[in-house]
Structure 1
Amino acid sequence: MGRSLFRKLLFDDSNEDEIVKEVVMDSTSQRKRRSYIICNHLAGHERLYLDYFTDSLVYPELVFWRRFQMICSLFLILFLKVEAHDLYFFQKRNGGKKLGLSSFQKITAALRMQQYVWIGETTALQSLKKSVTMVVDIFFEEYLRKPNNKTLLNC
């Protein structure tokens, strides 16, 4: 609200209904909309898929190992099991009916590769939290164990 409206409220003896109308009109005319950032999620998915998961790879297995700290086949096992365990990792449409992030992008983001798949910080953190929970739920019995004395001494 501007200064002129406050002056009117202080010095004008007009009808209360008129003042209420003016306040309502003034507040509704200044409503701000959210800014929309155009992210090309589809291009990010295509780039990720073509670089690492097709028959004609852009980058060799060694580069995949350096970026993800695991071999591609292990990543694919994680991907399939985590995707099957939680619907969060499926690609969905947003409120504007546009496709959201793909499963590959969300799981890659969980492995701290946000810049590579063109996604925001919130999505990356949410993907990380969900994927850690899923990995513990899925692989706890098979891979995770309590530390033994030897492990504790090496810390």
Structure 2
Amino acid sequence: MIQILRASDQSKKRGGSVVGHKYICCERRKKGHDRLFVDYFATNPVYSPATFQRHFRMRRHLYLRILNAIEAYDTYFVQKKDATHILELFPLQKMTSAIRMLAHGVAADVVDDYVRIGENTAIESLKHFCNSIIEIFGPEYLRSPITTDIARLLAIG
């Protein structure tokens, strides 16, 4: 009897739907992406560049440069179809959730209201985003300062 329970417990841990997790309909995902795109990334966005910079703590061209770099580096950020042949979240949604959590220090469930991304997916996006940033930009920007850098920073400060 104990072996049967253990076998059934192990089978519950192997993928599939998770009890208690909320499913976000693909139509809702698409609407979230469309709203995000119109608000910030369209030719004539709803919000000004100053508002974009305040919301994301960077300029739009830098945001798009980072998005292109992480899409090229990590396939997690490339939109693909899931097992049911439904398109997954857009890269813009995944990166925006990560940026919002980092820039504003908000919890993962807070970004769901605007970006339309679940809490677990937001956390996973944040992990992939941070790892990608470290791997892509780490050698250039995360190096130890040299004496000329220190002298320049001291002169500025």
Name the TM-score, length of structure 2 as normaliser: 0.68
1:140 and 2:133 correspond: no
Query: Which segments of 5 or more consecutive residues in structure 2 lack a partner in the other structure?
Result: 1-17, 102-110
**Structure 2 partner of 1:101:** 89
Amino acid in the other structure paired with 2:136: I
Identity of aligned residues (%): 41
Gapped regions of structure 1 (runs ≥ 5): 1-32
| Higher RCO structure (Cα 8 Å, ≥6 apart) | 2
Q: Could you list the per-position Cα deviations for residues 109-154 of structure 1 after superposition, in whole angstroms to 9, with x for gaps in the alignment?
A: 1113523211111111111111111111111122222368978xxx
Q: How much does 1:95 deviate?
A: 2.3
Question: For residues 97-119 of structure 1, what are the alpha-carbon distances to aligned partners after superposition, in whole Å with 9 as ceiling and x for unaligned?
Answer: 22110010111111135232111
**Mean Cα deviation higher: 74-83 or 44-53:** 44-53
Contact 2:29 2:116 in 1 (8 A): yes
Matched, 1:70 2:68: no
1:121 match: 119
CA distance in 2, matches of 1:62, 1:68: 10
Partner of 1:47: 35
Question: Quick check: 1:112–1:124 contact (8 Å CA) kept in 2?
Answer: no
Q: Which residue of 2 aligns with 1:91?
A: 79
1:96, CA displacement in angstroms?
2.2
Secondary structure of the 1:107 match is: helix
Q: Is the 8 A contact 2:98 2:126 kept in 1?
A: yes
Write the mapping of 1:8-87 to structure 2, written as runs, cut at 5 A: 37-39=23-25, 40-87=28-75
Cross-structure match for 2:98: 110
Computing the radius of gyration from Cα coordinates, the structure with the larger value is 1
Q: How many residues align?
A: 119
